[in-house]
Each structure stands twice: as structure tokens, then as C-alpha cells.
A and B are shown apart, each in its own frame.
Chain A
């Protein structure tokens, strides 16, 4: 017997006038999962989150919480809480009153509310600020209170709408770890919305990559990165080189493509239904230079070199095609490749992927 899913999105569409924000979205979020909706702005991820919270109604389709439809229940009857992008703390209440707000509406006893508020403030390391007002807090502190307030009523699902985007870089990293810790400790299903792929890859159990109002791919972070199912996902997650080509042979999940580089590559494919135009996607760090050039090799000329600290990025031109190649610091310093050098580049076919147009 499969586990009951926490959230089920069943054929949900959303129209705003002529604009289709979501187009027949279908997926399930498991219990205790750290699930991320990842996509560029305007992809519909925030609309979807707002529909789960109850601030928007689907034009079509159904949303289920623990197997029961919640499409008809208003936001205040859903056992789902939200951490808002700009925190949305109540400015006229103290932090303790902010955290107590949900519990009071649920009709908790006074004593229970007090101990739960203390416990939550303790959990986010803000106990000493209980009597302060939100305007006396820094961004990171507001974030913690927003979390404590949303987690206090023990929701079945916690929604997080780009909660880290307003924080500075250092703070963002520590809040990532904090969020993971809170998710493990509470065992609550987290649905996290972000446009930051690094955040998504770092924190999530599973990611739904969204684009143009549709779910493009759902999978664990390594699946999304290593085995993108289409061009959109390969392009949006990380960096990649697309080589135009022509599929000459197709056998289930495997295909052979004749690329613009002038070489034939046989590897896994997705989205190709018949021989014809397709692309070969190969990540910059999976292309080897000189001694590391293995598998399919070609000669090329280095046309640019960008030193990025931990990495060095090269652009190599080979057979009329520009390829981005990335080397780790130690390797790049040993290689001493300069602009204008002729180099051998190569990649293992297994590390490349053929994608339909």
C-alpha cells in the first residue's frame, strides 16, 4: 500500500483573463517531504502555492490535502500555514502575540498557548525578544518569527514563498541549514517556492521544475540535474551546452545523434519520438580538456577564459561550434591553458543526453 500523499494537485489550471498561469498541473507531494517548486518568475509557482494556501481558486481541477479535497474550503479552514516572502508579521503585535495569533483562532487554552509560544520562540532562538515589536528586528530575525508563527499551530503542510530572497548571502546559507533542521525536527511537509536553483538543489528531497505554467519535470535534485527530460530543464538547472544535430537512429531510451561538431554520439534520450532534428546537451564540467579529454574527442581553439575563483570557464570553438568548458581551480592551475591555444576536448557519451526539440 502506498503512503497517503500530503498534497495532491489534480489537473489544476488557472486563468487570469486571457493569461494562462497554470495549465493542467498534476502531481503529488509525499508526507514529510521537503518539496520545492522551482522555476523562473512568471512560471506559475507562486500562483500554485497561493492556491494550496487558499488565496486563489483554481479555474479547473482539484487540490487535495491528505486525500480530501480542500478546493471549497477558505484559507482559514485549511490546516496549512504560510511563510510569506516579506514575512507579513503583524506590526501592531509583539513577537509573542504574533506567534500566538493562530493558536488563539484555533481556540487553544491560554496555558497551552503560552507554553507553545515559548517553545516556538526557543526553537528559532528568539526567546529573549518575545516582547519586542517586529519593527525592532533585522530581516533574519523577522524570518525566524515568521517561521515560528507558521509552525506554531502544527500545520499539516508548511508553505514557504521565496522566504530567503530578502536576506543577504551569508544569512541565506545559514537559514537554509536552519530550514532543513526545522523540517527534520518537526516532520512537517514543506512546500518551498524559489527561483534559485542552488537553493532548490541544496535543500529539497524532490523538485518540481516549472516553466510556462506547466510542470516540466519532477525528481530528486540529482535526477533533475543529471537527467533533465527536456531542453527547458537542462537549460534552467545549471549550465549546459546544446549541440544541434540530427537523430539518425532511435531505439527506446537510446538514440544516435549526428551533431554539428561532426561526430556521432549514441546515448540516452528523452523527448525524441522519431528520427529528425534534436539537441545534444552536455554540461561544461563534463567536457575534458587535453589529458582529461576522453571518449568522443575533437580539436578546438580557446577563445576566452574566465577566472571565477573556484572554477575557470573556457569557451572553446570546435568545428564552428562554441562550447563552454569548466575546470576546477586545481586542475585549471595545472593546465595553464591560454586564450588562442589549440586544445583537445572530449566527453564520454554517457555524460551527454539527447533531448527532443
Chain B
């Protein structure tokens, strides 16, 4: 019997994969490992300790930047997802919509523009209209570049969903809002959730725009971390990073599970 020629049996593939994943995840592993180091020097292992987590959580400036980031990300996520959902509904469902491609490009434009351009533009605009409040400015700016990220998965699900079920709902006496609430929305929920999570993470992660709009009461976590690094790395940074990795993993897992469930149901 001839052995099945499987891609996994190619010579060197195993080694190559191991090297690749080591390169990808080793730095992250190092961060997590040293976050439990009790030594003040980041790269010298002394013993296991969780004191840097305690110290990070007791650092007021750090905690305040986490709070700013969370609030900004939460509101950016809500607004960006709502706008993206409405845009996706019109673009995929409106009969005889003119300039469908143009509308889609306009929604997606922030993806194509270099972020620094957007950041400068927003900064100039805000100073001209005299908008100074820290967090409000951040939310407005973040919504602009988070919307396309929320838009893409929602539109993909709306396009993949057969129109028959919506027609069936109308046929069974459901007025338009009921069709949306009881049929369309539940069916595209995995896309909406994935879009919202992406928007949240993109907002949390943003540096360029947030740095440009940095002000008292408007310092986000990435900006604070950057300022810490300029004074030399501290083990506290490792602890914060590990916590961020944990939160991201939880969110990504939830999105994966929801999508897999929806695929099985609709498949």
C-alpha cells in the first residue's frame, strides 16, 4: 500500500513550523514568565512572586489610564457597531440603492488612509471647533476608524444570510421591525458580536490618534505604557501586558465559539 502523500510528511515542515511558532509566541511567553519574577530587574530571574500585579493594580496613574481606555473603547464600540450595522443593512438590503459601491468605499475609507493622516485631520478639526474634553474627543476619533472594522463582519453575515427567511417572516405577518428583531438580528448576531469585539480591541490598541489627542484626563493605556517605557522598563509592564493578553484571549475565544455555533446551525 502506498503511503498517502500528506503535506505533513514533507521534510523539514515540522521544524519550520516549530521555529515559526516559537518566533511568534516566545516574546509573549517571556513577558508572561517575567511578570511573575520578584526581581526589580526585568531580565534577572529571582523567584516567583505576584507583587508586580499588586503594584500595577495599586498604581493610580496606570489604573486611571486603564479606565480611560475601557470607557473610550466601550463607547467607541457601541457607536461604531451601531453605525456599522445600519450602514450594512442599507447597503445589503435597500432595493435599488444607487451608488452601492461608493457607499461601501466611504464606510471603509478609514482603513485605506494612513492613520496619521486621520489623526492630524481630527486634531486640526477639534482645535478649530474648540473641542477640548479629553474622552469625548477620543470617542469621536475612535468611532471613525473603528466603524469599518465593525462593518466588515456584519456585512459578510448579512450577505451570507438568505433573504428567504426574512421573506418568510414578513409572510407570517411580521412588520418590518419585528422581522429585524426576531429574525435578522438573531441570525447576524455572531457577525455583530465579532464586529463589536474587533472595534473594542482596535480602540483599546490605538496609539497614533490617542497620542495626538492626549490631554489631561484623556491618557489611554497604550500612551501610558509608552511613557513608562521611556523611563526604562519595569516588571509592572509585564504584569499589565499579561492581563491584557488574558482579556484578549477570552474575547477571541468567545467570538470563535459563537461563530462556530452559528456555522453549524445555518450550515
Chain A residues with CB under 8 Å of chain B are: 53-55, 74-77, 80-82, 84, 86, 88-92, 101-102, 105-106, 133, 135, 149-150, 153
Contacts and interface: CB of A to CB of B under 8 A. Distances in A.
B171 A92 contact: no
B265 A133 contact: yes
Identify the interface centre among B170, B171, B175, B186: most chain A CB within 10 Å of its CB.
B171
A142 to B, nearest CB: 12
Nearest to A101: B172
Nearest to A79: B173
Given A84-B167, A90-B183, A76 B266 contact: no
B267 interface: yes
Interface in B253-267: 264-267
Nearest to B179: A76
Nearest to B164: A88
B178 A82 contact: no
A106 B174 CA distance: 8
8 nearest A-B pairs in the assembled complex, by CB-CB distance: A102-B172, A88-B164, A105-B173, A88-B168, A75-B170, A92-B186, A82-B171, A105-B174
Nearest to A105: B173
Contacts of B187: 91-92
A86 B178 CA distance: 22
A93 B231 CA distance: 57
B162 interface: yes
Contact of B169 (A74, A86, A101): A101
Contacts of A105: 172-175, 178
A75 B176 CA distance: 10
Contacts of A90: 165, 168-169, 183
A84 B168 contact: yes
A76 B170 contact: yes
B171 to A, nearest CB: 5
Given A81-B172, A105-B172, A91 B167 contact: no
A106 B171 CA distance: 12
Nearest to A84: B164
B168 A153 contact: no
Interface string B166-200: 01111111110010001100110000000000000
B59 to A, nearest CB: 45
B266 A55 contact: no
Given A86-B164, A92-B187, A135-B265, A74 B170 contact: yes
Nearest to B187: A92
Report the interface size class on chain B.
Answer: 20 to 34
A76 B174 contact: yes
B171 A76 contact: yes
A84 B163 CA distance: 11
5 contacts: A88-B162, A91-B187, A91-B266, A135-B267, A149-B172
B167 A75 contact: yes
Contacts of B172: 76, 81, 101-102, 105, 149-150, 153
Contacts of B175: 76, 105
Contacts of B168: 82, 84, 88-90, 149
A321 to B, nearest CB: 48
B174 A101 contact: yes
A101 B167 CA distance: 13
A58 B88 CA distance: 28
B174 A88 contact: no
B173 A153 contact: yes
Given A53-B171, A101-B182, A105-B174, 7 more contacts: A80-B171, A86-B162, A89-B168, A90-B183, A91-B165, A101-B172, A150-B172
Contacts of A133: 265
Contact of B173 (A86, A91, A92, A106): A106
Nearest to A81: B171
Contacts of B183: 90
The winner among B162, B167, B265, B267 for most chain A CB atoms within 10 A is B167
A88 B173 contact: no
Contacts of A75: 167, 170-171
Nearest to A107: B173
Nearest to B172: A102
Given A92-B186, A105-B178, A135 B264 contact: yes
A102 B173 contact: yes
A90 B179 CA distance: 11
B127 to A, nearest CB: 48
A102 B182 CA distance: 12
Interface in B226-267: 264-267
Contacts of B267: 135
Interface string B122-145: 000000000000000000000000
B169 to A, nearest CB: 7
